[in-house]
Amino acid sequence: MTYKIIIDSCGELTDTMKQDGHFCNVALELSVDDYRIRDDETFNQADFLRRVKESKNCPKSSCPSPESYMEAFGDAEHIYMVTLSSQLSGSYNSAEIAKNIYLEEHPNADVYVFDSRSASIGETLIGLKVQELEEKGLNFKSIVEQTEKYIEEQATYFVLETLDTLRKNGRLSNLKAVVASALNIKPVMGSTPEGMICQLGQARGMTKALDKLVQNVVEKTKDTENRILAISHCNCPKRAELVKEKIQKLAKFKDIIVVDTAGVSTMYANDGGVIMAV
């Protein structure tokens, strides 16, 4: 069976995934004031961060159209879409519309939309899980069921230099804690089972916050030797490598992958942000 794994552009593709014909991104669109940016291979992170820094307004994003998803289907027999958490974006609903339109014309097609209940590198890991199961030769139904189970067990964690973009865009509506930025307090954030954002703790300064981030990952992850850990960073490769080294001293994972954030994740993580998923 031929298959296609379509991940909205909040989910970063590794270099290996980009070269693998089974994966593709469907682009969201970003805007800073009147300037619009397509979150695809043309995305310029440095230019985007500069525009955000110079603007008095909050950057925004818009989800892909159903047509954009459908264009990515090709002639694959098994079609999987992985989207940003439905609690954070309309990308999931757009993908569902694309699926339903396609099934009207191809009623026997195998098409499924995974609500990642995550973002960024969390979506990446879900795509890799689908491929792992496809390469084992499982049938479509089993792949969907096992991937959904994987999503239920997955967790995403992050530490950002600033929460301004998340707050201004209404993504922290359920966050009760007030962060004392003047005191250099950095919150350690994570995902809820429903795909919302929650605060797990806080520390003074980025170094201590990253230590707490690593501690959360190690304490809450079971069976690490059979799991892949993923790290995405916004323009801070040395910080990401430091986090990787800290993790490796405390736990043995099947693999650890590190990528730079794409457009949507860059918008929310801001310069210096670190995200982990497992």
- Looking at the fold, whether 137 and 241 belong to one and the same domain comes out as no
Q: What does the pLDDT look like over 62-98, one tens digit per residue?
A: 999 999 999 999 999 999 999 999 999 999 999 999 9
pLDDT at 106: 96
- Looking at the fold, whether 220 and 181 belong to one and the same domain comes out as yes
- Looking at the fold, whether 34 and 67 belong to one and the same domain comes out as yes
- Looking at the fold, whether 250 and 168 belong to one and the same domain comes out as yes
Which runs of E-coded beta strand occur in 59-174? 60-62, 78-83, 110-115, 156-159
- Looking at the fold, whether 198 and 261 belong to one and the same domain comes out as yes
* Nearest CA-CA partner of 258 in 278, 235, 237: 237
Instruction: Write the CATH number for 115.
Output: 3.40.50.10170
pTM of structure: 0.94
What is the phi-psi region of residue 232: left when phi exceeds 0, alpha when psi lies from -120 to 50, beta otherwise?
Answer: beta
Question: Is 212 a residue whose pLDDT tops 50?
Answer: yes
Q: How many other C-beta atoms are found inside a 10 Å radius of the C-beta of residue 73? A: 18
- Looking at the fold, whether 42 and 177 belong to one and the same domain comes out as no
Give how many domains the chain has, as a whole number. Answer: 2
- Looking at the fold, whether 185 and 118 belong to one and the same domain comes out as no
Give the distance from CA 165 to its chain's centroid. 16
pLDDT level of residue 175 (50, 70, 90 thresholds): low
- Looking at the fold, whether 143 and 213 belong to one and the same domain comes out as no
- Looking at the fold, whether 200 and 132 belong to one and the same domain comes out as no
* Residue 40 domain boundaries: 3-152
Percent of the chain with pLDDT over 90: 88
Q: What does the pLDDT look like over 93-117, one tens digit per residue?
A: 999 999 999 999 999 999 999 999 9
- Looking at the fold, whether 25 and 52 belong to one and the same domain comes out as yes
Q: What does the pLDDT look like over 118-127, one tens digit per residue?
A: 999 999 999 9
- Looking at the fold, whether 8 and 135 belong to one and the same domain comes out as yes
Q: How far apart are CA 20 and CA 102, in angstroms?
A: 24
